[in-house]
Structure 1
Amino acid sequence: MISVERGFVVRLPVGELVSYMEDFTRTEEWDPGTVTCVRLDDGPVRTGSRWRNTSRFRGRETELEYRLVTQEPTRLVFVGENKTVTAVDDLRFEETGDGTRLTYRASLTFKGLARLAAPFLRPEFERLADGVSARLPAAAEARRSDGTPSS
């Protein structure tokens, strides 16, 4: 298993940042590996909502189907899966004086023969986590909770 974690402050109130983050289609805005992310069901985002995320990793595209498994006022957990990996994105939110501290932890558990490659892939996942911490605050701050760009 590979786990990477980053913590950073986003200049938004907790509730607004959680609203932004719970719509996983927005990974297109802040995750440097995401190519597309499409919602697979309708209605309000809720526990059990699903998305198809297409990512580019080491020059190849891969698809994972994600579902929201935890939806709390200060925590969101998404689990993505395909035949070679299970990915868990665990997001924790804490109010600070200048916004919200977001602790972002991504864990990947490889299946079958892909497990053998895991130790060699850590540096690439560390770089992706660095990209998330660089892009996510600006992407979230550029949007209001209703999804429209802020002025």
Structure 2
Amino acid sequence: MITVERNILLAAPLDSAVAYLEDFGRTVEWDPGTVHCVRVDEGALRPGATWHNTSRFRGRTTELSYRLEVREPARLVFVGTNSTVVAKDEMLFEARSAGGTSLTYRASFLFKGLARLATPFLRTELERLADAVAQRLPSAVAEYER
């Protein structure tokens, strides 16, 4: 398993940051690997909500089914699966005294089958992707706030 983690300062109150990030369809705005992400079900955003995600990684397009597993006031967990990987995105939020939000973003990837053999070679690229997320996410949240 590979886990990457970034601490990101967001210029938005905690409630707004959570409201923006609980809709996984918005990953197209802040995750450079996401090509397309659409909600599959309807209704309130609550545990059990699902999305169909199309991502591009290492020049290949892959499709994952994502599910909101945990929706708490200061924590979100999404789990995406397909035949080669289980991806877990965990977001921990903490209100800052200056009015913004501190976000700990943790992404874990458990590769399955033959894809497991590539695990040692993927860490560097996943770290780069996490860096890109950390760069894009603050401006995406700020744009949502406008």
TM-score, scaled to structure 1: 0.95
Equivalent residue, structure 1, for 2:88: 88
Shift of 1:111: 0.4
Shift of 1:119: 0.6
Alignment of structure 1 residues 113-124 onto 2, 5 Å: 113-124=114-125
Question: Which consecutive unaligned segments of at least 5 residues does structure 2 have?
Answer: none
Equivalent residue, structure 2, for 1:147: none
Equivalent residue, structure 2, for 1:8: 8
Alignment of structure 1 residues 47-58 onto 2, 5 Å: 47-58=47-58
**Is 1:100 the counterpart of 2:126 in the alignment?**
no
The AA in structure 2 aligned to 1:35 is V
Equivalent residue, structure 2, for 1:141: 142
Count of paired positions: 145
Residue 142 of structure 1 aligns to a residue whose secondary structure is helix
Shift of 1:44: 1.3
The AA in structure 2 aligned to 1:136 is L
Question: Which consecutive unaligned segments of at least 5 residues does structure 1 have?
Answer: 145-149
Shift of 1:97: 2.3
Residue 132 of structure 2 aligns to a residue whose secondary structure is helix
Distance in 1 separating the partners of 2:115 and 2:140 = 32
Shift of 1:8: 1.3
Distance in 1 separating the partners of 2:96 and 2:8 = 11
Structure 1 segments of 4+ aligned residues over 3 angstroms from their partners? none
Distance in 1 separating the partners of 2:54 and 2:143 = 23
TM-score, scaled to structure 2: 0.98
Residue 144 of structure 2 aligns to a residue whose secondary structure is coil
Write out per-residue CA displacement over residues 73-127 of structure 1, whole angstroms, 9 at most, x where no aligned residue.
0000000000000000000000112300000000000001111100101100000
Residue 135 of structure 2 aligns to a residue whose secondary structure is helix
Residue 18 of structure 2 aligns to a residue whose secondary structure is helix
Shift of 1:43: 1.0
> RMSD of the alignment, in Å?
0.6
Equivalent residue, structure 1, for 2:60: 60
Alignment of structure 1 residues 28-47 onto 2, 5 Å: 28-47=28-47
Distance in 2 separating the partners of 1:139 and 1:130 = 15
Give % identity: 61
Residue 113 of structure 1 aligns to a residue whose secondary structure is helix
Equivalent residue, structure 1, for 2:133: 132
The AA in structure 2 aligned to 1:43 is G
